[in-house]
């Protein structure tokens, strides 16, 4: 993995146009830049009218923003995607097996592949799930795997999102916007569709219904409410699936089932796609002050009366210290070598690793083990001396709260500006649907792009934008 040479996905390292972009580039060269600028403005207006926003939380009140959208697609060839899909499927299968194991026999701990304290002392480990069998044996019904690219055939997993992965609504709206803006492109270039995702999600959730479900399973989406940063996505997915969007106060336990309020009384729910964190899911079992969840839902779940997607306790697979053991996890549960590699990771809980990180803070990326959204991290090469000194104190105070990784040379993809096409760093979050009978990797996913020159932070909360991701048919 090169730490200095940057791979551009359109032009390659030799400056020659790469094959996946040939048809797009031929179209682009024939377009009037003024028309493209007008289309970029039109796309932004579409996003504004549709209400595609997210909330940013800071020192002041939460601020609602549009996610910037770039009209130049990120293009992946069919063979490249086939290799990626196999690796993603292998990893997701291993994550599900790992979750079942740690809440049952903990064979991986007994085998000495993961230290016991890494599980037992982990804040995301949920004792309430010990011995619980989720319907169909599925823990992670929806998974997002964050990937970065450093070369033509070099993809690395940056992190796993197995609790409540977000961003799929932006993937769908990005494609819808491109279809509206440039329909002629899709008649010239064969791109695999993503528009069936809501149908596939509904079908996958229904297939995961508990044994007590009768007829067509009743599915609902549980949201914390309009002030949540991903509320647009919650409402969008419920609408696209044709199911109810509910809040905690709409639900109650009735005759041993979780039921939602309707104009005809309370109706039992078979599958609840929850976007509420574990701690707020059930005030009787977790945080007693929570008003976002449903009192008693965990008792119904343990009795097999409802499917909760994703299952409570899956957040431990998001933990960045657990991530560092993923090569061992994949090999332990699949008997195969990982098809997708991890980024080299130092666990700061280990004295030797901590010493190395403290000595090299200016060259490393340091992250909180439970962090997300680009918050609470240090990017050494771009940090000031004052920021590094402050982070050094944090590390020494709570070393087990952090992991560190080398600063990767993330690949770039062109973005459209008044000055023409300029390279910007990207990552990719493919989305995976898991049901008792199948694992379905959506072709493409959400490409996030760092819009500032030289920036490696792609998160929308930190100023990043998004692109449509094309997987070619051939």
CB contact at 8 A, 348 and 399: yes
pLDDT at 52: 65
CATH number for 344-406 (one of 1.20.1250.20, 3.30.1490.270, 3.40.50.720, 3.30.420.40): it is: 3.30.1490.270
pLDDT in tens, 70-105: 999 999 999 999 999 999 999 999 999 999 999 999
pLDDT reading at 4 higher than 80: no
pLDDT at 371: 67
Going through 133-286 in order, the beta strands assigned E by DSSP cover: 142-151, 154-161, 219-222, 244-246, 251-254, 257-262, 265-268, 271-274
Higher pLDDT, 374 or 469: 469
Instruction: Give the predicted TM-score (pTM) of the model.
Output: 0.92
pLDDT category at 170 given cuts 50, 70, 90 is: very high
23's enclosing H/E stretch is helix 22-29
pLDDT reading at 65 higher than 90: no
Q: Give the closest residue to 467 by CA, choosing from 40, 20, 7.
A: 40
Q: Give the closest residue to 236 by CA, choosing from 218, 223, 217.
A: 223
Mean pLDDT of 253-258: 96
SS3 474: coil
SS3 44: helix
Give the chain's count of helices (H) and strands (E). Answer: 14, 23
pLDDT at 245: 98
Within 249-376, where are the H helices? Answer: 297-302, 320-323, 326-334, 351-359
pLDDT at 64: 58
pLDDT at 139: 98
pLDDT at 2: 39
416's enclosing H/E stretch is strand 412-417
In degrees rounded to 5, what are phi and psi of residue 141?
-75, -35
Within 213-262, where are the H helices? Answer: 231-241
Per-residue CA distances from 41 to 35, 46, 310 (Å): 10, 9, 37
pLDDT reading at 313 higher than 80: yes
Q: Give the closest residue to 203 by CA, choosing from 223, 221, 217.
A: 217
pLDDT at 57: 41
pLDDT category at 67 given cuts 50, 70, 90 is: confident
pLDDT at 173: 93
Query: Rounded to whole angstroms, how far apart are CA atoms 221 and 239?
Result: 10
pLDDT in tens, 366-410: 999 876 655 678 988 888 999 999 999 999 999 999 999 998 889
Question: How far separated are the first and last CA of the chain, in Å rounded?
Answer: 28
Kindly state the tokens that stand for 172: 């769908």
Within 398-450, where are the H helices? Answer: none
Kindly state the tokens that stand for 190: 């064969």
Across-strand partners of 64? 55
| DSSP symbol at 105 | T
Cis amide bond preceding 163, omega within 30 = no
pLDDT at 3: 46
Kindly state the tokens that stand for 416: 């459209």
CB contact at 8 A, 142 and 431: yes
Cis amide bond preceding 310, omega within 30 = yes
pLDDT in tens, 275-284: 999 999 999 9
Kindly state the tokens that stand for 224: 């914390």
- What is the Rg, in whole angstroms, of the alpha carbon atoms belonging to the chain? 22
pLDDT at 369: 87
Domain boundaries, the chain: 19-341+408-471, 344-406
pLDDT at 456: 79
Find the length of the chain: 474
In degrees rounded to 5, what are phi and psi of residue 269?
-105, 135
pLDDT at 61: 45
CB contact at 8 A, 159 and 56: no
Q: Give the closest residue to 365 by CA, choosing from 315, 402, 327.
A: 402
């Amino acid at each position: 993995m090169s730490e200095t040479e940057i791979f551009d996905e359109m032009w390659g390292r030799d400056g020659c146009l790469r094959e996946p972009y040939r048809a797009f580039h031929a179209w682009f060269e024939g377009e009037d830049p003024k028309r493209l600028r007008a289309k970029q403005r039109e796309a932004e207006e579409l996003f504004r009218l549709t209400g595609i926003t997210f909330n940013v939380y800071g020192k002041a009140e939460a601020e609602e923003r549009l996610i910037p959208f770039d009209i130049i697609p990120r293009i992946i060839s069919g063979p490249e995607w086939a290799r990626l899909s196999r690796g993603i499927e292998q990893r997701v299968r291993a994550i599900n097996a790992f979750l079942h194991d740690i809440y049952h026999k903990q064979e991986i701990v007994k085998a000495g592949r993961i230290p016991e304290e890494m599980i037992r002392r982990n804040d995301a480990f949920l004792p309430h799930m010990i011995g619980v069998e989720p319907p169909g044996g599925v823990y992670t019904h929806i998974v997002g795997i964050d990937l970065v690219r450093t070369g033509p055939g070099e993809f690395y997993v940056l992190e796993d999102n197995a609790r409540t992965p977000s961003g799929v609504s932006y993937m769908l709206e990005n494609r819808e916007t491109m279809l509206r803006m440039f329909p002629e492109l899709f008649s010239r270039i064969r791109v695999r569709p993503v528009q069936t995702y809501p149908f596939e999600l509904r079908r996958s959730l229904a297939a995961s219904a508990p044994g007590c479900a009768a007829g067509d399973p009743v599915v609902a989406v549980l949201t914390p409410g309009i002030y949540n940063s991903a509320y647009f996505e919650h409402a969008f997915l419920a609408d696209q699936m044709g199911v109810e969007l509910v809040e905690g106060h709409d639900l109650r336990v009735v005759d041993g089932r979780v039921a939602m309020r309707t104009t005809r009384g309370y109706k039992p729910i078979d599958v609840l796609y929850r976007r509420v964190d574990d701690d707020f899911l059930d005030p009787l079992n977790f945080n007693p002050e929570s008003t976002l969840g449903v009192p008693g839902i965990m008792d119904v779940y343990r009795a097999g009366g409802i499917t909760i997607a994703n299952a409570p306790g899956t957040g431990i697979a998001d933990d960045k210290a657990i991530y560092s053991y993923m090569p061992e996890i994949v090999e332990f549960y699949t008997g195969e070598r990982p098809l997708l590699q991890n980024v080299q990771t130092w666990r700061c809980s280990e004295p030797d690793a901590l010493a190395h990180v403290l000595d090299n803070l200016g060259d490393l990326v340091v992250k909180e083990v439970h962090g997300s959204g680009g918050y609470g991290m240090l990017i050494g090469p771009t940090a000031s001396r004052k920021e590094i000194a402050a982070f050094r104190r944090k590390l020494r105070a709570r070393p087990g709260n952090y992991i560190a990784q080398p600063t990767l040379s993330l690949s770039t993809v062109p973005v459209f500006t008044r000055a023409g096409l300029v390279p910007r760093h990207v990552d990719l979050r493919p989305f995976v649907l898991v049901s008792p009978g199948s694992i379905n990797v959506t072709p493409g996913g959400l490409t996030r792009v760092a819009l500032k020159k030289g920036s490696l932070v792609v998160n929308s909360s930190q100023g990043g934008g998004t692109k449509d991701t094309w997987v070619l048919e051939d």
